[in-house]
Amino acid sequence: MVELKSLNNSQREAVKYLGSAQMIIAGAGSGKTRVLTYKIAYLFKKEKYKTDSILALTFTNKAANEMKDRIRELIGKKADNLWMGTFHSIFAKILRIEAKYTGYKSNFSIYDTEDSLSLVNNIINNLDINIEGITANSIRHRISFVKNHMIMPKEFRKKHVNSFIDGKIADVYDEYQKRLFENNAMDFDDLLLKPIELFKSKPTILQKYKKKFHYILVDEFQDTNKAQYEILKLLVSRNCRITVVGDDAQSIYSWRGANLDNMYNFEKDFPKHKVFRLEQNYRSTKTILKAADSVIKINKDQMVKTLWTENNDGEKLIVIKCADEKDEAHQIAKYIKNEISKKKLSHMDFTVLYRTNAQSRVLEDIFRREKLPYEIIGGIEFYKRKEVKDVIAYLRVIVNQKDEESLLRIMNFPQRGIGNTTVTRMIEFARKHNLSLFQTMARVFEVIEIKERIQKNVKGFRLLLEKYIDLKDKLSIGELSRALVDDLGLIRMFKAENTQESLQRRENINQLLIALSEFSDSGKKAKLEDILEELSLISAIDTKDDEKNVVTLMTLHSAKGLEFPIVFLSGCEEDIFPLSNRFSTDATIEEERRLFYVGLTRAQKKVFISHARSRYRFGEVAYQSRSRFIDELDPQTISEINGGIGRKANRKTRKEAFYEYFDSVDYDDFDQDNKDVRPGSRVMHEKFGLGKVTEIIGSGDMVKAIVQFEGNNIKQLMLKFAKLKILN
Q: Which amino acid is at 408?
A: L
Whether the bond into 578 is cis, omega within 30 of 0: yes
Q: Catalytic annotation on 431?
A: no
Helix (H, G, I), strand (E, B), or coil: what is residue 58? strand
Q: Phi/psi at 114 (nearest 5 deg)? A: -65, -40
Residue 250 annotated in active site: yes
Q: Give the strand pairing for 614-617 and 620-623.
A: antiparallel
Contact criterion met (CB below 8 Å) for 291 and 634: yes
Residue 378 DSSP code: S
**619 dihedral zone (left: phi>0; alpha: psi -120 to 50; beta):** left
Rounded distance, CA 111 to CA 185, Å? 7
Collapsed DSSP state (helix, strand, coil) of residue 525: coil
CA distance 523 to 183: 31
For residues 339 and 607, what is the distance between their CA atoms, to the nearest angstrom?
12
Compute how many other C-beta atoms are within 10 angstroms of the C-beta atom of residue 472. Answer: 15
The two beta strands, 551-555 and 614-617, are: unpaired
Nearest to 632 by CA among 292, 247, 355, 249: 292
Return the beta strands (E) in 363-487 as ranges: 374-377
C-alpha atoms less than 13 angstroms from C-alpha of 516 in its C-beta half-sphere: 27
Kindly name the residue from 210, 602, 605, 615 that is annotated as catalytic: 602
Helices (H), 472-527: 477-488, 490-497, 500-520
Query: SS3 for 284?
Result: coil
* Catalytic residue status for 439: no
Strand order in the sheet with 682-685: 667-669, 725-727, 682-685, 689-697, 704-709, 713-718
Say if CB 263 and CB 248 are below 8 A apart. yes
The whole-angstrom separation of Cα 580 and Cα 312 is 35
- For residues 67 and 91, what is the distance between their CA atoms, to the nearest angstrom? 19
The Cα–Cα gap between 541 and 538 comes to 8
Annotated active-site residue in 220, 324, 387, 390: 220
Q: Annotated catalytic residue: which of 13, 16, 33, 544?
A: 33
Q: Which amino acid is at 160?
A: H
179: nearest Cα among 395, 375, 345, 427: 427
Q: Give the integer Cα–Cα distance in Å for 406 and 716.
A: 64
Assess contact for 546 and 377: CB atoms under 8 A.
no
Q: Can 187 be counted among the known catalytic residues? A: no
- Please confirm whether the linkage preceding 679 is cis (ω < 30° from 0): no
DSSP state of 92: H
Question: For residue 127, how many other CB atoms are within 10 A of its CB?
Answer: 13
Indicate the burial class of 55 (C-beta count within 10 angstroms; 0-12, 13-18, 19 or more). buried
> CA-to-CA distance for 637 and 609, rounded, in angstroms?
12
**How many Å apart are CA 555 and CA 558, to the nearest integer?**
5
| Residue 32 annotated in active site | yes
Q: Which of 22, 102, 224, 250 is catalytic?
A: 250
**Is 716 assigned a catalytic role?**
no
Catalytic residue, candidates 11, 32, 187, 194: 32
Catalytically annotated residue among 98, 115, 219, 390: 219
Using CA of residue 582, residue 585, residue 587, residue 591, what is the dihedral sign? negative
Torsion of CA 33, 36, 38, 40, to 10 degrees: -140
DSSP structural state of residue 160: S
- CA 21 centroid distance within chain: 31
Show which residues are catalytic. Answer: 32-33, 219-220, 250, 602
